[in-house]
Amino acid sequence: MQIFTADNILDEMKIKLLRTEKDYNQALSRLGEIFHAPVDSKEGDEAEILTILIEKYENKHFPIDAPVPSRLLNLEWSKRK
| pLDDT tens for each residue of 34-71 | 999 999 898 999 999 999 999 999 999 999 887 777 77
Return the higher-pLDDT residue of 30 and 81.
Answer: 30
Q: Rounded distance, CA 79 to CA 81, Å?
A: 6
pLDDT the model gives residue 73: 80
For residue 75, what pLDDT is reported? 77
| Cα 47 from Cα 55, distance rounded (Å) | 12
